[in-house]
Amino acid sequence: MSPQPPSLFQRRILVGAVMCVGAFALVAVRLIDVTVFSPEPPHVVRPAPSGIVRADILDRNGELIARDLRADDLYVWLKDIPNKARAARQLAIATGTDERRLAQMLAGKHSTILVARQLTPTEHAKVEALHMPGIEFGPNSKRYYPDGRMTAQVVGVTDSDGKGVSGLELGLDSKLRGPDRQAVTTSLDMRVQFILEHETQASLDEFRARAAGGLVMDVRTGEILGLVSLPDFDPNARDFTGGDTTRNIMAQDVYELGSVFKIFSFSMALENHTVRLDEPIAIGNGYKIGRFTIHEAEHMPAFLAARDVLAESSNIGTAQIVLRSGPDHQRAFLTKMGLLRPVRSELPETARPLYPSAEHWGIIETATIGFGHGISVTPLAFAAAAASVVNGGRRVMPTFLKHPDDARGEQVISPETSATMRGLLRYVVTNGTGKKADVPGYDVGGKTGSAEVVGPNGRYVSHKLVTSFCGVFPIENPRYLVFVVLDEPHGTKATAGFALAGYTAAPLAGHVISRIAPLLGVPINPITAAKENS
């Protein structure tokens, strides 16, 4: 019995099966070609579908500081490019990519290449205008900083993958990149930041300083309303020119700050009840400690009342006062003020203070540390400790997040010592070296600091200074602290060649205070305003 020929239905099933086998064979061949013979180059990274990876950064008033903007990556499918040399030339012009490198990539055996990442809108439009086959745009984003250089040092930047690498971008990275990411409101006030940057740059230029910086802090909450470090850089362009740097001198550099440190020396003496403000202190022409002799930066009278030791910034007088407490008390006091450890905040940049070990902290070290030499701290650490002195004597830590509630912590000095120090700092501005920081009606208190720079041989260089000024206002009930630093300023004709802090840093702080006080709603004292204007 002969077999029955297949039916029409069976023949259709057979044809379909053959076609499926053929299709799967073609897919298998293609997979082998792509994965074995033409693997993707390691530099091709497919982005996340959305492209946007970071939340916004805002100032305390809701003004935008940083935002991710759509900035597509550009890919090319090589099989669709008929004239690779011409394509390399056109794409190089449109995207700014190196033509030679692009030609080498196009001549390779990969199926796809990444031509450029994070195209600007202009570059994107130029590429689209080419109408080139094989072009593909992959979603990505690029961090944009509307204020450019003004916030560069404090806000920092991200890398091309959207990860924070410096500043608050790094310090707040987990908040900005988390799955539930939301805009982060910082403590910064862009009005204050603008004024601080403008005045600091003006002083940097006027006194031809090597570097300069400043910060504004709320002494009750620890909030940093503005922080500037110059030189800076353009966070949008990322190409450094001239003396551009990413180094934040306010948080990363440690300085011997000089006479501003006398704030802590007098606070300690008042806490230990080792000084009366009206008692006379012998100054003379020098003060010998062993084989060392302490001298003054400027001529002093033979005797000064203790309050005038601070007002006139006498090294000799301060040395005698701190020696009454001695090395152990001084070390313990500075430890309590937080000056012997790195300061902590949301800003990742920090530095360890430099100071003598306990076994080498003797009489001469006590004297020199008393007037701000022999110990190096960051300006941010100094500001936090100084704020604790004037705010009623309670510890406050710097923060870059908006924190409107009173954040003062444990009592580090008595309220009575804090009140006396506020009076002394006001006296420095009205009767001492801080006169050029006075602002009519705002009752500024403060202290100047001029420290000689240590040279490469370990010796101080007399004509090179770091000058600073710590200003607090309104001094009777302080709310804000301004601290400014000038690294190696030069005297001018207007200062008769003097580069000391009273001529350089004090007026800088005064300019900043006069502009930010009205913005921050600090009321004018009509009595002192009328007295100083008369």
| Catalytic residue list | 259
| Cβ–Cβ < 8 Å for 262, 450 | no
Residue carrying the six token digits 């120090």: 421
CA–CA separation, 128 and 130 (whole Å): 5
| Cβ–Cβ < 8 Å for 487, 376 | no
Beta-carbon-side half-sphere exposure of residue 230 (alpha carbons within 13 Å): 26
Pull the structure tokens for residue 387: 């704020």
DSSP character string of 58-97: E-TTS-EEEEEEE--EEEEEGGG-S-HHHHHHHHHHHH--
39-60 core/surface letters (b: 16 or more CB in 10 A; e: else): eeeeeeeebeeebebbbbbbbb
297-317 core/surface letters (b: 16 or more CB in 10 A; e: else): beebeeebbbbbbbbbbbbbb
497: left (phi > 0), else alpha (psi -120 to 50), else beta?
left
187: left (phi > 0), else alpha (psi -120 to 50), else beta?
alpha
CA–CA separation, 226 and 245 (whole Å): 19
Helix pair angle (363-370, 315-323), 10° resolution: 130
For 107-112, which contacts have Cβ atoms below 8 Å and span 24 or more sequence positions?
A: 108/41, 108/78, 109/37, 109/38, 110/38, 110/39, 110/40, 110/41, 110/44, 110/78, 111/34, 111/38, 111/40, 111/77, 111/78, 111/79, 112/40, 112/44, 112/75, 112/76, 112/77, 112/78, 112/136
| Cβ–Cβ < 8 Å for 434, 502 | yes
